[in-house]
Amino acid sequence: MSDMESMYLDILKGLAVHFDSRFVADIRETSLRHPRLSLGYALNRNQMTSKKWLVETLFNVTGGALGRVCVLGGWYGVLGAMLLHEPRFQVESVCSVDRDSSCEDVAMSLNRTHVDTGKFQFLTADMYKIEFPIGKFDLIINTSCEHLETIDRWFERIPYGTLLTLQSNNYVGIDGHVNCVQDLDQFKRQVPLSDVMFEGELTLKKYTRFMLIGRR
């Protein structure tokens, strides 16, 4: 480990102590166990700003009672950790789903605190193939709608009445972004919710993120 890497890890350790934060401590331990650049991307300013916006808005809409949560396209489980570490939420469990099996070890490490309590689990699966029986999840989150070329095929698998939190963006030209939208109206046409409880957009550097919360 270089002196620079050691310094940054010491900073994280100090922040964990200062803020009495198990989340920061888990991030530090994950950085040690899984030193990969993509972890930095998952925790960068735009990613964290988008997720914090989701967390704050979801609290305002629901009052904090989330129950059993499924996060699709969960990557390294950052959003799951943010929900589980947020004391205002009542979360029974979080299942973070990603089709990339290499994400599992990182996500389990990043969520170590709640793996140990049984509240966090990771599932390697394709969201197009997952069954969503009525009542299995109280909330389904998909912040990767720009990655779904046939989003209607995925949306049709969701039971009517399910609470959804969905995000997309207009960040074209990025590998994997096969379904970007230009505005909220286009996004709403892709995922026609029966009851829209929130719709909004967040301007970030290089792109705008769109979010919908409501029932299928």
Please give the structure tokens belonging to residue 38.
Answer: 């993509």
Place of tokens 């650049």: 37
* Banded model confidence at residue 135, pLDDT cuts 50, 70, 90: confident
* Banded model confidence at residue 5, pLDDT cuts 50, 70, 90: low
Tens digits of residue pLDDT in 151-201:
999 999 999 999 999 999 999 878 889 999 999 999 999 999 999 999 999
Place of tokens 């030193």: 35
User: CA-CA distance, 156 to 70, in Å (whole number)?
Assistant: 16
Instruction: State how beta strands 65-72 and 139-142 pair.
Output: parallel
User: Which one is predicted more confidently, 19 or 194?
Assistant: 194
> What stretch of H or E contains 12?
helix 3-18
Is there a contact between 81 and 110 (Cβ–Cβ < 8 Å)? yes
- pLDDT of res. 95: 97
**DSSP letter assigned to residue 191:** S
- Return the SS3 of 189: helix
What is the distance in angstroms between the CA of the first residue and the CA of the last residue of the chain?
49
pLDDT at 90 over 90: yes
* Banded model confidence at residue 45, pLDDT cuts 50, 70, 90: confident
pLDDT at 21 over 90: no
Percent above pLDDT 90 for the chain:
71
- Return the SS3 of 36: coil
- pLDDT of res. 205: 86
Average pLDDT of the chain is 90
- pLDDT of res. 60: 97
- Cα atoms in the 13 Å half-sphere on the side-chain side of 92: 10
- pLDDT of res. 134: 77
Place of tokens 């993509």: 38
* Banded model confidence at residue 18, pLDDT cuts 50, 70, 90: very low
pLDDT at 15 over 50: no
Percent above pLDDT 70 for the chain:
91
Is there a contact between 154 and 127 (Cβ–Cβ < 8 Å)? yes
DSSP result, 127-171: TTT----TTS-SEEEE--GGG-TTHHHHHTTSPTT-EEEEEEE--
- Where exactly does CATH 3.40.50.150 map onto the chain? 44-215
- pLDDT of res. 1: 62
Architecture of domain 44-215: 3-Layer(aba) Sandwich (3.40)
Please give the structure tokens belonging to residue 7.
Answer: 């310094």
Is there a contact between 196 and 206 (Cβ–Cβ < 8 Å)? no
